[in-house]
Amino acid sequence: MTTLDRLDGWKASGVISAGQHELLRALVRQDRFSLFVEINALLYLGVLALVAGLFNVFQDFVVNLGDAVILGILVLLMGAAFAWCFSRAHPYAHDEVESPSVVFDYVLYFGCLMLSSTLGFLETRFGVFRDWSTHLFLASVVFGLLAYRFDNRFVLTLAISTLAGFLGLRMNAFDTPDTDVLRLTALLFGGTLAGLGLWLYRQGVKPYFLDTYLHIGANVVLLAMASGVLEPATGLAYFAALLALSGGAIYLGTRFHRFAFVAYGTLYGYAGLSAKLLETIGGFTLGL
C-alpha cells in the first residue's frame, strides 16, 4: 500500500479532513507550490538593505561629499522613484487596482524610504523642522496618501507605524513618567484606527484596507492593556479591560472567520492572566 492509498483511507475514515488530505497529497506528490509571500518579503528586505547601504556610504564619505551633494542624491533618487510610479500607475479607483508591473511596489517602497531618509537628513543636518515629531507626522501623511493613490497596503502599514512613532515622541515631549497617559493615548490611537477603517469600509473607499486598520488597532489596544496589568494601583482595572477586550476579539474573530483576531485575544489574554496569577500567588514556580 502506498502513502497516497493510506491518505485516501484516512480521509475516508474521517481521521483527516479534506483540506488536510489535499495538502498532504500535494506534499507526497512533491507538487509545486507558491513562494510568492517569501519572495515578496525578501525583495522588501532587499530594498531596505539597499537604503541602509546607501546611508553607510553617505556616513563614510560625508566629509568628502558634503551635505548639499548628499541631499541632492537623496532628492534625485526619491524624485526618480515617485516620478516612475506616477507615470506607470493606473488611474485611482475606490476599488482594488492591480499593480501595473512586478517591480512597481518595490520602487514605491524605495521612494517612501528615500522620502523618510530625506526628511531625516534635513532635520539632522539642518534642523529644518526643529522637532523630530514634525518629520514623522509629515512622513506619515505622505505615506497615507501614497498608499491610497497606489493601492498599497504595505505603505499604509508604514504610514500607520510612522504615525504611532509621532504620537510616542509627542508623549515624550511632555517629559512625564505617567505611563497611564501613554496607555490612554495608545487606546485612543488603536480605537481611532479601527473606527477610521470601518468608516472608510462603509464609504466604499478601498474596503479591503479594513484588515490593516483592524490588525494594527487590535494589537495596539491589547498591548496597551496588557502592559498595565502589573501596575500597583490600576492593574486590576487594566486586567479586567484586557479580559473583556480579549473576549471580544475572540468572539468577533470567530463570528467573522478571522483566525488572527482569535489568536490575538487568546495570546494577550493568556499573557495578562499569567502575569496576574504570578503576581498574586507570589511564587514563580508555583504560579507556573
Residue 215 resides in a domain: yes
Better-predicted residue by pLDDT, 269 or 98: 269
Lowest mean pLDDT among 56-60, 63-67, 191-195, 216-220: 56-60
Determine the 3-state secondary structure of 137 from DSSP. Answer: helix
Cβ atoms within 10 Å of 176's Cβ, excluding its own = 11
Under a CB-based contact definition with an 8 Å cutoff, are residues 89 and 150 in contact? yes
Q: What is the 3-state secondary structure (H, E, C) of 213-246?
A: HHHHHHHHHHHHHHHCCCCCCCHHHHHHHHHHHH
Residue that terminates a domain, selected from 130, 157, 175: 175
Cβ burial of 200 (10 Å; 0-12, 13-18, 19+) is middle
Closest CA to 157 of 197, 130, 115: 197
Number of domains in the chain: 2
Residue 261 resides in a domain: yes
Residue that terminates a domain, selected from 134, 151, 175: 175
Interatomic CA distance for residues 25 and 30, integer angstroms? 8
Better-predicted residue by pLDDT, 3 or 122: 122
Residue 11 resides in a domain: no
Under a CB-based contact definition with an 8 Å cutoff, are residues 135 and 123 in contact? yes
Q: Which residues, other chains included, contact 246 with Cβ-Cβ below 8 Å and sequence gap of 6+?
A: 222, 264, 265, 266, 268, 269, 272
Q: Answer positive or negative: Cα dihedral of 110, 113, 119, 120.
A: negative
Q: What is the dihedral of CA 194, 197, 198, 199, to 10 degrees?
A: 120
Is 163 found in the same domain as 88?
Answer: yes
Is 191 found in the same domain as 166?
Answer: no
Residue 57 resides in a domain: no
Is 190 found in the same domain as 119?
Answer: no
- Length of the chain, please? 288
Interatomic CA distance for residues 220 and 284, integer angstroms? 28
Give whole-number Cα distances, 256 to 38, 80, 197, 259, in Å: 27, 43, 16, 9
- Matching residue, cell 485612543: 188
pTM: 0.76
Q: What is the dihedral of CA 195, 198, 204, 205, to 10 degrees?
A: 50
Residue 56 resides in a domain: no
Residue that terminates a domain, selected from 175, 196, 216: 175
| Residue 282 φ/ψ region, left for φ over 0, alpha for ψ in the -120 to 50 degree band, beta for the rest | left
Domain range enclosing 276? 182-288
Cα-only R_g, the chain: 24
Is 223 found in the same domain as 157?
Answer: no
Which tens digits make up the pLDDT trace of 149-202? Answer: 999 988 998 899 888 888 875 555 444 556 778 888 889 999 999 999 999 999
Is 141 found in the same domain as 75?
Answer: yes
Which tens digits make up the pLDDT trace of 16-34? Answer: 787 777 777 766 665 555 5
pLDDT score of 91: 92
Interatomic CA distance for residues 196 and 215, integer angstroms? 13
| pLDDT above 90: percentage of residues in the chain | 36
Under a CB-based contact definition with an 8 Å cutoff, are residues 34 and 22 in contact? no
Is 195 found in the same domain as 170?
Answer: no
Residue 209 grid cell: 484596507
Interatomic CA distance for residues 217 and 211, integer angstroms? 10
Is 202 found in the same domain as 142?
Answer: no
